[in-house]
Amino acid sequence: MRAAASAPGKVILFGEHFVVHGAPALVASIDLRAAAIVERAESGGVRLSDGSKDNPAVKAVEHVLRRLGASASLIIEIESRIPQSVGLGSSAALAASSSAAALHLLAGRLDLNLILESSHEGEKIIHYMPSGIDTSIATFGGIGVYARSSGYKKLDIALEEILVVNTGMRRRTGDMVLRVRGFAEREPEQFKQLLDEAGRIIEEGLDALRSRDLERLGMLMSRNQELLRVVGVSSPELEEAIAMCLDAGAYGAKLTGAGGGGCVIAAADPDKMDEIISRISGRFEVFRVRLGVEGVRVERP
C-alpha cells in the first residue's frame, strides 16, 4: 500500500523582502521537483525512511492525519532535484508532495487546500513565520502574484525559461528578514520610497511577462537588484554571479529569495542560454528552468 506525489520548487521573480512589508511579489514554479512515496507501516508513527521525524514532510503528513481523523504509521521516502536552503522552495515542495501522497493513500483524493494547510504546518518548524509563498507555489504551481493580505493569485501567463545560478552559500531566511527590518527602522523614509519602487517594478514586470519581453524583464530584474543591495541582502558571491550573467550576455539578473547567499535568476535570450551556462558552470551550478509548471500532482509509486 503506497502512493507517490511530486511538487515544484519556486523562484521569486520580483518583490522578495518587500512582500514582508506589504508589497506584492511575483512568483513562479520551476521545473525542478521534489517527490515523495508514502507507504503504510505496521507501527512507529510517521517518519522518513531514515527514521527521522523532525522535518517539514513528517509534520505536514501528521497534520493530514489529524485533519482526516485517522491514525496510521507511515514511512515517507523522499527524492528531490531542488537544491536545499538556497531559496528555491525545497522544503515546501517536500511537505506538499508528502501530504499529497499521504492524502491519496489514505483518502484516495487530492484536496489542494488541505495540502496547502498541511505544508504550511510543516514549514513552521523551519521558518518562524513563513509568508506562505513557497507552500502556495508548491501546491498550485503556475506564475502569479503573492501578497500577505490576499495570498496567491495565479495568472494566465507563460514564460518559457530563465537561468538559475546557485552560489551554494546557505543562509537563514529569518536573519535576512531581520536585516531588512533593521534597515526599515533606521531609514523609514528611504524604505518607503524603496517599497513604492518595488510596487512599480511588479506592475512593469507583469506587463513585461504578458508581452513576453525578456529584455525588459531583465532590465527590471537589475532594477529590483539595486533595491535589494540598498537594504543589505546581497553578498559578494551573489554580485559575482550577477556580474558573470551580465558579462555573458544576460539581459538582467537579481538574487531570488532571501539573499545573503542562495541563488541568482537571470533573463536571457533562449538562443544565448547555452553559451551563458558554459561560461558560468565552472564557477557556479547553473540550471535552465522552465517557469509556471504544474503544482502538486500524484505520480506512479
Residues binding ligand PMV (CB under 6 A)? 16-17, 19-20, 87, 130-131, 133-134, 173, 176-177, 257-258
Residue 138 or 217 with smaller CB distance to ligand PMV: 138
Catalytic residue among 134, 156, 207, 247: 134
Residue that is written with C-alpha cell 525545497 in the block = 90
Smallest distance from the beta carbon of 189 to ligand PMV, in angstroms?
22
Smallest distance from the beta carbon of 127 to ligand PMV, in angstroms?
7
Q: Which CB contacts under 8 angstroms, 24+ apart, belong to 170-174? A: 170/84, 170/85, 170/86, 170/261, 170/262, 171/85, 171/258, 171/259, 171/260, 171/261, 171/262, 172/258, 173/87, 173/127, 173/257, 173/258, 174/127, 174/128
134 is catalytic: yes
Alpha-carbon gap, residue 122 to 118, rounded angstroms: 6
Question: Alpha helices of 130-235 — where are they, by DSSP H?
Answer: 133-140, 173-186, 188-210, 214-230
Smallest distance from the beta carbon of 176 to ligand PMV, in angstroms?
6
Residue 29 or 77 with smaller CB distance to ligand PMV: 29
Residue 54 or 128 with smaller CB distance to ligand PMV: 128
Largest CA distance in the chain: 60
Which residue has the closest beta carbon to ligand PMV? 257
Residue 74 or 180 with smaller CB distance to ligand PMV: 180
Smallest distance from the beta carbon of 126 to ligand PMV, in angstroms?
10
Q: Which three cell numbers stand for residue 147?
A: 501578497
Smallest distance from the beta carbon of 129 to ligand PMV, in angstroms?
7
Q: How would DSSP label each residue in 113-160?
A: HHHHHHHHHHHTTTSSS--SHHHHHHHHBSEEEEETTTEEEEES----
Rg over alpha carbons for the chain, rounded to the nearest Å, is 19
Residue 85 or 110 with smaller CB distance to ligand PMV: 85
Catalytic residues: 134
